[in-house]
Structure 1
Amino acid sequence: MSQVPEAGRGTVTPVRVVIALCLVAPFVAMLWVGSYAKTDPEFAGIPFFYWYQMLWVVIATALTMIAYKLWQRDQRARREGPGR
């Protein structure tokens, strides 16, 4: 069984902070109901309450994709790290 060094596993880097923000932002936006619990402005006859939530579906998808790509790049950089 190989031993994985524990030194770099829990390191907080700026990239990991950005990843966390990308993943947390949709939750914060949806849990803050007071910011979108209204009907105006309407978009194409759809009340704000509904189109705001549907917009966040698209935004959350994009943020999740960004977080995934950043995570892949971070993991690749760690494997190729300074020791190799």
Structure 2
Amino acid sequence: MRVVIALCLIAPFVAMLWVGSYAKTDPSFIGIPFFYWYQMAWVLISTALTMIAYKLWQRDQRARSAAKGGASQ
């Protein structure tokens, strides 16, 4: 579970640090060069991935709490 959480949080960094993959103008989207709309798309993708990571973290913490509480009884 924690590996999936880490991947959700690391993916946006890798995508933005690999500049060679998006340092171009084509294909354009409604007149906006690829460079700009790719970065703006990652703002939305990063938000979604962060939300997923947070929900998975909450689920993991609840499971660990339940396991710890059940083991002590």
TM surpasses 0.5: yes
Distance across 2 between alignment mates of 1:23 and 1:31: 14
Deviation string, structure 1 residues 53-84 (Cα, Å, up to 9, x no partner): 00000000000000000000000000000515
**Equivalent in 70, 74, 81 of residue 60 of structure 2:** 74
Aligned equivalent of 2:33: 47
| Aligned pairs (5 A) from 1:1-84 | 15-81=1-67, 82-83=70-71
Distance 1:58 1:44 in 2: 18
Q: List 4+ stretches of structure 1 deviating above 4 A.
A: none
Amino acid aligned to 1:30: M
| Count of equivalent residues | 70
Output the CA distance in 2 between the equivalents of 1:54 and 1:44.
14
Q: Structure 1 CA distance, aligned partners of 2:28 and 2:19? A: 17
Runs of 5+ consecutive residues of structure 2 not aligned to the other structure: none
Shift in Å, 1:29: 0.1
RMSD, aligned α-carbons: 0.8
Percent identical:
81
RCO (CA 8 Å, sep 6+): is it higher in 1 or 2? 2
Higher helix share: 2
Distance 2:46 2:30 in 1: 22
The alignment's TM-score, normalised by the length of structure 2, stands at 0.93
